[in-house]
């Protein structure tokens, strides 16, 4: 129940904060493990995790220890100084991905900006000054800064923000035949999500993802794989592209790598990363010792084989339970995903389904036009899955949405 003080806070938020979100009628107060609590004390099972951010859930000992220890040591310094924390996390990320260079930043959008710049920089030197174009995909989402929105199709629905960066071509996801006509000597990179997150939690087919790698190899094009939402254990592998047996030329990361601390990164093979020189790119806060210490602690915990095995097992349990719910209720039309990144299409309006789930004590998010997105903390267990299934089943069986 929304209290009078909650209503005052929500009204104030509507008044003084930019109107970029449809605000929920809940004021959150604290989190613990896989649960969130409102100021009224109501308990919510968190199946959003800040949209695939809170890999270790709320208040995890590893996260807290890293923050507290590093805060007592060194939180910030200019990027021209070497710190053991930055070296350690760069080593960890590049070795985990079998890549060569890392750049630490503050968000996924910044990671995408750096990736696009790096691809153009490489192409300028290796393929000619005219080679500046990108191939991306319909329903993709790569962020909200200018380069990122330029390779995000739905940004084009806001012409008032134009002009976007030129030379961007949109192909159909999971359709290699739509990619080939867009190829030319002017294409420097293809950027793709292994699972389209905002596009509806749509996994790439093996033929599609492997085929893109082959196309890039054949035409000397840079393959940028966006793992911002899928990376750091979300699909049961450290990086989702490992499910397909391919390796990117450049990879973007964020969200889960900091477990709730704002951080992002892009990794590159030496062929591409070697063109980044002083003055071509940079950041004030990226790679600060505090962010690096937290990233190393969280990502190292996730990378443990037993942890990843648990994610895979729990994700399979969730999928099986949803499939049973589908056959029992006839209210679910489709279920997609890998690991603990799951999309569910129901017969109900998603704008009504999400508030109904919230009322019953489950927090989730929307993906695409109509999909329920389930991205719980990676510490979810089969018991938590059963609790989530009970809540989802309770709502969709009522049938009065």
Contacts of 377 (CB under 8 A, 6+ apart): 33, 34, 46, 49, 54, 55, 56, 57, 58
| Contact present, 364 and 372 (Cβ < 8 Å) | yes
Radius of gyration of the chain (CA): 21
Angle (CA) 78 256 56, round 5°: 110
Strands 187-193 and 222-226: parallel
Catalytic residue among 86, 132, 237, 255: 255
Our answer to whether residue 226 is catalytic in this structure is yes
Catalytic residue among 86, 208, 226, 261: 226
Quick one: which of 109, 108, 197, 103 has its CA closest to 150?
Answer: 109
| Torsion, Cα of 18, 19, 23, 28 (10° steps) | -10
Our answer to whether residue 141 is catalytic in this structure is yes
Quick one: which of 358, 399, 15 has its CA closest to 366?
Answer: 358
Catalytic residue among 63, 134, 137, 141: 141
Our answer to whether residue 6 is catalytic in this structure is no
Its sign, for the CA torsion 254, 256, 257, 258, is positive
Q: Which residues are catalytic?
A: 141, 226, 255
């Amino acid at each position: 129940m929304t209290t009078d003080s909650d209503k005052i806070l929500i009204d104030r938020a509507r008044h003084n904060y930019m109107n970029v979100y449809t605000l929920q009628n809940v004021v959150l107060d604290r989190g613990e493990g896989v649960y969130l609590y409102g100021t009224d004390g109501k308990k919510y099972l968190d199946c959003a995790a800040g949209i695939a951010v809170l890999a270790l859930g709320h208040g995890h000992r590893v996260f807290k220890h890293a923050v507290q220890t590093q805060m007592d040591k060194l939180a910030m310094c200019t990027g021209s100084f070497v710190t053991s924390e930055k070296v350690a996390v760069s080593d960890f990320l590049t070795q985990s991905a079998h890549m060569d260079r890392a750049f630490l930043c503050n968000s996924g959008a910044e990671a995408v900006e750096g990736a696009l710049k790096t691809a153009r920089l490489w192409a300028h030197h290796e393929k000619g000054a005219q080679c500046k174009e990108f191939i991306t995909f319909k329903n993709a989402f790569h962020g909200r800064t200018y380069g990122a929105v330029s390779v995000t199709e739905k940004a084009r629905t806001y012409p008032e923000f134009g002009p976007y960066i030129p030379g961007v071509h949109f192909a159909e996801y999971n359709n290699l035949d739509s990619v080939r006509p867009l190829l030319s000597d002017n294409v420097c990179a293809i950027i793709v999500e292994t699972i389209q997150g905002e596009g509806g939690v749509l996994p790439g087919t093996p033929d599609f993802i492997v085929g893109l790698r082959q196309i890039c190899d054949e035409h000397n094009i840079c393959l940028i794989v966006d793992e911002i939402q899928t990376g750091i254990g979300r699909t049961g592998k450290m990086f989702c592209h490992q499910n397909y047996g391919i390796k990117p030329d450049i990879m973007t990361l964020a969200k889960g790598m900091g477990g709730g601390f704002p951080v992002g990164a892009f990794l590159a093979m030496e062929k591409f990363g070697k063109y980044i020189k002083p003055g071509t790119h940079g950041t004030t806060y990226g790679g600060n010792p505090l962010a690096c210490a937290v990233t190393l602690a969280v990502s190292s915990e996730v990378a443990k084989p037993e942890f990843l095995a648990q994610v895979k097992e729990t994700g399979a349990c969730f999928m099986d339970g949803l499939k049973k719910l589908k056959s029992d209720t006839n209210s679910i039309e489709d279920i997609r995903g890998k690991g603990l990144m799951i999309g569910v299409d129901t017969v109900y309006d998603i704008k009504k389904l999400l508030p109904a789930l919230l009322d019953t004590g489950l927090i989730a998010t929307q993906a695409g036009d109509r999909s329920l997105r389930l991205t719980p903390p990676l510490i979810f267990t089969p018991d938590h899955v059963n609790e989530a299934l009970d809540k989802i089943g309770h709502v969709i069986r009522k049938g009065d949405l």
